[in-house]
A = this chain, B = another copy of it.
């Protein structure tokens, strides 16, 4: 890939198909700025995988050029890969105050805090990384202190929206900084990178304030205890609950480690306010009557070990659901979580709770901009080139169509996939190549040792289990000595399989009839056993267990 020294390169990385969601690389001359370093939770076909992180081969290769990593906000899909990245590449990290607080907690857990170079930035205040001058600007999102970035490079200005919505009546009173964005637009924007998550949704995303009324009514009318489940980092929602509790003479207890940590930090840093002192400790729950109690908790996505899911299963230590309880599931299921969230709600209903959830009531609003907001950003910035980011491919396409409908010519809209290198000059843009961008899996402590063959084996095992056959062979004659042993796991119920396994012993012996009279060749024996057993099992059961022949020669 020959490269133009007076050009700007833009490379999206990571995000499991959500392009540039976890990481975006901007390269200008000898300077690279990395935006975000997040992780994704695995798709259901990534069996046993805990996390998916961006492939940083390109960063490793060009580490001398990297000036820093700028984080737009403190969600996992934007900060979660930092521990894995900084371990190898200890570059300085830039982020706003709350974002830095969240990053610090994470790095501390991974014992990386002491050596990390952390720089707190502030919305509206420019800082410089190499030849790039960066102005963060305030956006609204489902976590406080989120910013977009205006990045002035020698080639032109790049606007990166981060994750955003435009909320004119935000709960924390801090509106989207339209002015700074408008000024950048007036000066001229070369490239807009804009959040496509909700590009399918027409109209405007409602303000967080619209949830206030619903939560207030439910808490006011609830006959007993109220349990509100939401995201641990959705501080605005927690503020709404604190306010409603204060209005209706209730106290609030926070249950769930991640939310407890976040509440403590948000109070300390001034992002959450408890003027009426409604927050209480776990130990105060006992003496507070149910009709005076609100439990604020995690688990609104049906996460298996979360507090709400434990409550639904009846094994949460502090809160046991009883008839008369009111539960508010204050979120929308993220795609892929619909079934587990549904099951959790079902279980809560079965325990006698009244459950309020987003399918039936306005107990949640989205955190991402809808079509009218996306158009507004395009109008304000008037970019020469447009790259939709953060979204599945279909969201990018639709976001691209929106841009076209606003008059951006189709050949200046780049709907890309991860790893694509987009090279821009002041008046031209093209994709000039691709960097390594395949998913990197984290399973347990180890990174990158799970590949497709391992996942294929896991799927095979998951579908039909495994049959291990143990043969003892005479080293000289290849004759099978004694009776083959057969062990199965995940194949079928033990009792049901007895007769089948007895028959399969005969199949093994029969398949090796021709092997007698000459030394055992392990490859031959494995092949014969595998083939004949696979056929036998498929014919009898239409299943294809993994077959693992073990031959011991003596």
Contact = CB atoms under 8 A, between A and B. Distances in A.
Interface of A: 17, 43-44, 47-48, 200, 335-336, 338-339, 342-343, 345-347, 349-350, 355, 357, 359-360, 392-394, 397-398, 417, 443-446, 448-451, 453-455, 457-466, 468, 470, 472, 485, 487, 489-493, 496-497, 540-543, 546, 548, 550, 552, 554
Number of copies of this chain that the complex holds? 2
Nearest to A442: B542
Residue among A47, A350, A394, A453 with most chain B CB within 10 A:
A394
A315 B337 CA distance: 30
Residue among A455, A462, A485 with most chain B CB within 10 A:
A462
A536 to B, nearest CB: 13
Contact of A48 (B43, B346, B463): B463
A435 to B, nearest CB: 19
A241 B328 CA distance: 43
B360 A200 contact: yes
A346 B347 CA distance: 34
Contact of A541 (B394, B444, B466, B491): B444
A468 B43 CA distance: 28
Given A443-B541, A445-B540, A487-B550, 15 more contacts: A17-B343, A47-B463, A48-B462, A48-B490, A349-B393, A350-B393, A443-B492, A444-B542, A444-B543, A454-B491, A457-B490, A458-B462, A461-B465, A466-B466, A489-B548
A461 B459 CA distance: 9
Contacts of A345: 394
A476 B485 CA distance: 20
A346 B465 contact: no
A487 B454 CA distance: 13
A446 B541 contact: yes
A450 B493 contact: yes
Contacts of A359: 200
B454 A465 contact: yes
B462 A459 contact: yes
Nearest to A401: B354
A8 to B, nearest CB: 25
Contacts of A360: 200, 398
A338 B335 CA distance: 6
Nearest to A492: B449
11 contacts: A17-B343, A47-B463, A48-B463, A349-B397, A355-B397, A357-B394, A446-B543, A449-B493, A455-B490, A457-B489, A458-B463
A89 to B, nearest CB: 21
A426 to B, nearest CB: 30
A173 to B, nearest CB: 33
Nearest to A49: B463
Contact of A342 (B335, B338, B445, B466): B335
Nearest to A335: B338
B449 A497 contact: yes
A541 B50 CA distance: 12
Given A17-B346, A552-B552, A541 B445 contact: yes
B465 A462 contact: no
